[in-house]
Structures are given as structure tokens and as C-alpha cells.
Amino acid sequence: MKINQNYNKLPHNYLFTEIALRTEKYIKTHPTQKVIKLGIGDVTQPLSPVIANAMKQAVEELTKKETFRGYGPELGHVWARQSVADYYKNEMNVVLDIDEITIGDGIGEDLANITDLFNHGGNTVVIQDPVYPLYQSTTLMDSNDIIYVPCNEANGFLPTPPDSHSDIIYLCSPNNPTGAAFNFSQLKAWVDYALENNAIILFDAAYERFTSNNDCPRSIFQIEGARNCAIEFGSLSKTAGFSCIRSGYTIVPNDLNRDGMNLLRMWQQRQTTKYNGANYITQRGLEAALTPQGLKDADRNIAYYHHNAGLITSMLKEKGLFFTGGESSPYVWLKCPNGMKSWDFFQYLLDTVQVIGTPGVGFGPSGEGYFRLSAFNSTEQTIEALERLDTIL
Ligand code: MLT
């Protein structure tokens, strides 16, 4: 038996696990202190009634002999995939064949599982730095090599492709944690680079609905050539409040081929073998979330989170601290004051004002000295956190 020693290359705990453990430890030793969490990007606004009713009705169906169901199709119900296709057509003018869409349990899961299509070892993977830490961890687990492309103040947190060859490219736009979103020509440069290198872009579109900037594509398939080099991942966690329900979708164009293999066919084989399909109740929820009423309710929640982000950025402006984000994303990315390191600032905020954020270095080496505040908490909690921060910044 050969164990996967690559796990030794990972940080001791995954970023959000480490934060949760440190928070838990603090609460245990300071039981009277009230901790406010602006750390992990977790939603707080309740489900839209249209989604809740669709899910309740789905449960009702399962209680009756006539409408009871067993296993569903592993790749997702046709009506659920059609609702994703309609969303892309109506919102982004992107035409998808429903066979290109699969319904899954969330973006993190599919972003990790897609790596089954690529050789473990021997691939060079481009990762924005900083970015959602899952890409780095899965690449290390798979024994592939990483090229970090720094996202910093000098390039407006929007890097250009590297000069050297790569095989797999993770892009997240609008970016988690910086909130920077590629415009059409910047994303086209990445598509051109991928095509030249015969590489595949794994495009994380979790925050596409948070941008209202028409200069920024919400889907990579709005870029010419992307169907020949990209796979896109979408999520209902942050828009429809599905972070505990779990639902997302993956789009693999049917003409995406490499080394004589068709990637859609491979993904379908992977999913029908290793996955029994998203649950029926959740898929009814997804279908409802993508109706006009579901989307209207999502936009109301997004406006609420944007309002919180505005409160955070106003305070940072007043304090004269560098920040970015908060406009095309629910996160504000700030520079730690007085040259503090990310984890030191985390501990300082926890010890002095009991506010939790996310240390920037957890998103990649270029995140050192930065810090992320999430706008997903309630407005009341956000205001209370800001009042506390005001006393020490
Ligand atoms: C985060 O960056 O806070 C993530 O969105 C959490 C997650 O979805 O895993």
C-alpha cells in the first residue's frame, strides 16, 4: 500500500478549519465574550419563500405512493439542467446544450472532483495568488506543480497569464478574496493563453451575480474561444443561500477534447460512477432559485450584503487603510495596519475586540500582510463589529 504522502505538503489545517478551531478555543477560554464572525463567507439571510415552498412540495411528493421517487439521474434532472441553461441564456446570452450541464452538491465539491480528469503528477497548474485555497490544496494532493500568478496592488489584483507553459489554470472572477473581476479583454488574454498552451481553464463563477459591471463577463463562455479551453462552475450558496443545502452546477462544453479524449464524456463517466446525483428536493430548490421570483429574492439578499460591504469600506476609508473589493464581491480585502502579518492581525482582532476575519496569507503567499472581512453577516452584527474595530484601528 502506498499512502498519498502529498498530504504532508498541505497546511496542517484547511484555512477555514484553522479559523474555526482558533475561534472555538477562544470562546472556550473566554465564555463571557461575544465573538462576531466576519470570517468564512457564509450567508445569513433566510431562504426565499419560493425556494422553500418548492422544496416542501418536493418532500410532500415523496410522502405519497403515487409521487414517490427513488434514484434520480446522476447528472441531474432534465428540468434542473434546463433551468441552468435558461439562466445562462437570459442573463448572459450564453447558449448551452443541457447535456453540457451537470447538477452537483456545490462548487467546492465539483472543483475538487474535476481533477479526476487530469493526471495526478506531471501537470503544471496556474493559480491566482491570493485565491480560494481549495485550488492549491487539491493541486498539492494530486502531486501537480503550481505556478502562482501574483494579484497585487501593482496589477490591480488582475494578473496577466504567465510567460511559461501550463496545463491547468484556475481562475476565479470576481475573485475571492480580492473582489477583482476581469474585464472582457483581460479574460480573453487568458483564453488565448490557454488555447496556445492546450491548457484547460477551470473557471470559478461563484460570485458572478455580485458584479453589476457590464465590462466584466459573468461567464467565461461570453469569451470567444472559451468553449475550446474552459470548464465553468456555478454555485447557489452565496446567491440563494444554499451554503448548508449544497447545490451547484458544472458546465463542460461538448466539444472540449484533449489527447483524443472528450472531457464532457469523461466528466459524465466520472459522475455516473462515483456520484449518485444531487438530491431531488435540492434540485427542486435550485429550479425555484432560478425562476424570476427566485432571482429577484437573490438580488435583494445580494443588495443587503453589498450594503454591509459599503459600511465596512466606509469605515476603512475613514481610517485611511488600503482596501479593495466590496463592489463586485461580498468581501473586502484590506492591508493590515502598521505592517502587521495576516495571522498576527487575526489574533490581535480576536484578543482585543473579538472580531473574526480571514488572514490574507491563507489565500496564498501574496496575501501576507492582508486581511479579508466578509459582508455576509447581518447588518446589526456588521455594525457592532465596525464599532468595535473603530476603537482600535
Ligand atoms: C470563503 O472564502 O469564505 C468560502 O467561500 C467558503 C467556501 O465556500 O468554502
For 151-205, write each residue's pLDDT tens digit: 999 999 999 999 999 999 999 999 999 999 999 999 999 999 999 999 999 999 9
Closest atom of ligand 1 relative to the 106 alpha carbon:
8
Task: Indicate which atom in ligand 1 lies nearest the CA of residue 358.
Answer: 3
pTM of this prediction exceeds 0.85: yes
Tell me the three cell numbers of residue 305.
450584503
pLDDT in tens, 40-97: 999 999 999 999 999 999 999 999 999 999 999 999 999 999 999 999 999 999 999 9
* Residue 177 · residue 325 · CB < 8 Å: yes
Which residue's CA is the closest to the ligand 1 atom numbered 5?
Answer: 41
On the question of pLDDT at 212 being above 90, the answer is no
Query: How large is the average pLDDT for residues 298-325?
Result: 97
**Can you read off the three cell numbers belonging to residue 158?**
488582475
Q: What is the mean pLDDT of the chain?
A: 97
42 CA → ligand 1 middle, Å: 7
Q: Are strands 145-150 and 168-172 parallel, antiparallel or unpaired?
A: unpaired
Residues with CB under 6 A from ligand 1: 40-41, 108, 132, 176
* Minimal-distance CA residue to ligand 1 atom 8: 41
Spacing, Cα 134 to ligand 1 middle (Å): 9
49 Cβ contact partners less than 8 Å away, ≥ 6 residues apart:
297
Burial of residue 268 (number of CB atoms within 10 Å: 0-12, 13-18, 19+): middle
Residue 257 CA to ligand 1 centre (angstroms): 31
The CA 356 to ligand 1 mean position distance, Å, reads 14
